[in-house]
A and B are shown apart, each in its own frame.
Chain A
Amino acid sequence: MNANARRRKIISRIAEALCLLAVILALLPLAMILFYVIKEGFGALNLDFFTQMPKPVGEAGGGMANAIVGTLILIGLAAIFAVPIGVICGIHLSEYPASRFSSVVRFAADVLNGVPSIVIGIFAYGLVVLPVKRFSAIAGGVALGLLMIPIVVRTTEELLRLVPAGLREGALALGATRTRAVFTVILPAALPGILTGILVALARVAGETAPLLFTAFNNRFFSTNIGQPMASLTVQVFTYAISAYDDWHRQAWAGAFLLVMMILTLSMLARFAVRRLERMNRP
């Protein structure tokens, strides 16, 4: 082996080592968070945590049943608000990619994506809470939905544009109108990816606290009334974590652990759903 080849080989090895180092550095915080949350949270988790209501200060035990159900309702509401708007917006962007209106929408979605979540919360407060003068789950859902919209818009657009042009031509050549082609061929072809995008967006907003503080607020009682304040895991964890009681701290850890698990499950569900749907799409 001559000197030049050896030199190239050494440089290649160094580059590989640097890549590996970068991967480890990126994954280390995730591993540490998971380790710490599991260590602190898993021990505090028990059946009561899922089935019981919060106990008054001083009484040991109790759980977060209201917050668990509350979080599920809140992200459900967020999906109801954000998915139709986001997907239809994404369709418009992919169908009219070059129009001036589309570039404005795209820019707006990017800006909305960058707006701090607490500002979104204040906006939802002004929009939904102030007129009826009451905190409500609906307001929380709107706030979370607003956070979801830009993610759903951009993933929908990107995935629709990945659908081969031949499919559109095939549908049009059979006498489909443009709308028909989009809804019967192009959208279904991109559905696995769009669904993943939606689940990822849900996982992201499920962990939000700030936008809920002025909207869904919190509720010490079990409630499924979306016109009333509603508890959520994140707000409950926040409230308990800044309290002065050891028992509440333990509960906060359990809540944090549960949140992480929920988000993990959503992400895995996303992957699983994609694989099932893709079976029809690929040989």
Chain B
Amino acid sequence: MTMTIEERRTRRPQEKVMTTTTRAKISVRDFEFYYGAAKVLHGINLDVPSQQVTALIGPSGCGKSTFIRSINRMNDIIPEARGEGTIEIDGKNVYAPGTDTVELRRRVGMVFQKSNPFPKSIYDNIAYGLRIGGMRNKRELNEVVEKSLIRAALWDEVKDRLHGPALSLSGGQQQRLCIARALAVNPEIVLMDEPASALDPIATAKIEELIFELKDRYTIVIVTHNMQQAARVSDRTAFFMLGKLVEYGETKDIFMNPKEKMTEDYVTGRFG
């Protein structure tokens, strides 16, 4: 990684040509979400393009986390929670009856706000998803573990202690470990729920750089509280407010030239 993020951003224009030709990876139509009787998402419509970074921003409690957790149906584990409407991935509705959430979550990886490495070794953390998928061959496992750690820019820091405890890593390393763990099962989409909010600026910069690297291969959706972060890493930004999608578009338009007054007030820091 020799280029800085700023340098990379200058490559944007030619990437945009590609954008217009890529079709929607995730397509959300009239999606609503309820916790019991409380409606927390109202009629969300949005298309997430393939191999781009889409940021979800908005004040606390606006529903952006609920929304991102709806994409891989992580909300299913909350009793009384239910989604209505459709979220299609490659044209297939994940809320259709009979959808296999286990299969869905293997295609849609997730990284959480608080890094959550398992209390196992670094190696076993990365191998976890592979093993539950039935991979037993040691050589194959070694290979994927190495590749995933390299891809998550963690290999050099941990290659000498792969069998040491994952919890001995620093906070930033733990979060990259969680990213590597998600990448190991070879997902198509990676969801990140405030992946850097608990990290210091240097660790945050590393995660952001990584996100930039990863979009070549994966479709990334990221929730962030940090508007500079959204501006730095994302191609498209969606602004949520009180459970509604207020505005969605190219990141530079959202930040430089928002159509809605509410968006402008938020991105310029007038409330939030």
Contact = CB atoms under 8 A, between A and B. Distances in A.
Interface of A: 98, 164, 166-177, 180, 184-185, 188-189, 279-283
B6 interface: no
A166 B116 CA distance: 6
A174 B128 contact: yes
A177 B118 contact: no
Interface residues of B, number: 29
10 closest Cβ pairs, A-B complex: A166-B116, A175-B106, A174-B129, A173-B110, A281-B119, A170-B116, A283-B168, A175-B105, A189-B119, A175-B102
B210 to A, nearest CB: 18
Given A175-B105, A176-B102, A280-B165, A170 B112 contact: yes
A101 to B, nearest CB: 15
Contact of B128 (A171, A177, A280, A282): A171
Contacts of B156: none
Contacts of B103: 175
A184 B119 contact: no
B74 A173 contact: yes
Nearest to A163: B119
B37 interface: no
B119 A177 contact: no
Interface string B151-169: 0000000000000010110
A172 B178 CA distance: 13
Contacts of A167: 116, 118-119
A161 to B, nearest CB: 15
B83 interface: no
Given A173-B72, A175-B105, A280 B119 contact: yes
A168 B182 CA distance: 14
Interface string B183-195: 0010000000000
B240 to A, nearest CB: 21
Interface in B130-188: 132-133, 165, 167-168, 178, 181-182, 185
Q: Which of A173, A176, A280 has the most CB atoms of chain B within a 10 A radius of its CB?
A: A173
B109 interface: yes
Contacts of A180: 132
Nearest to B109: A173
Interface string B73-108: 010010100000000000000000000001101100
Nearest to B131: A184
Nearest to B191: A173
B116 A172 contact: no
Contact of B167 (A98, A172, A177, A282): A282
A189 B132 contact: no
25 contacts: A164-B116, A166-B116, A167-B116, A167-B118, A169-B116, A170-B178, A170-B181, A171-B118, A172-B74, A172-B77, A172-B105, A174-B106, A174-B128, A174-B132, A174-B182, A175-B129, A176-B102, A184-B132, A188-B119, A188-B120, A189-B118, A189-B119, A279-B165, A281-B165, A283-B168
Contacts of B181: 170, 174
A122 B26 CA distance: 65
B42 interface: no
A42 to B, nearest CB: 42
A283 B47 CA distance: 42
B232 interface: no
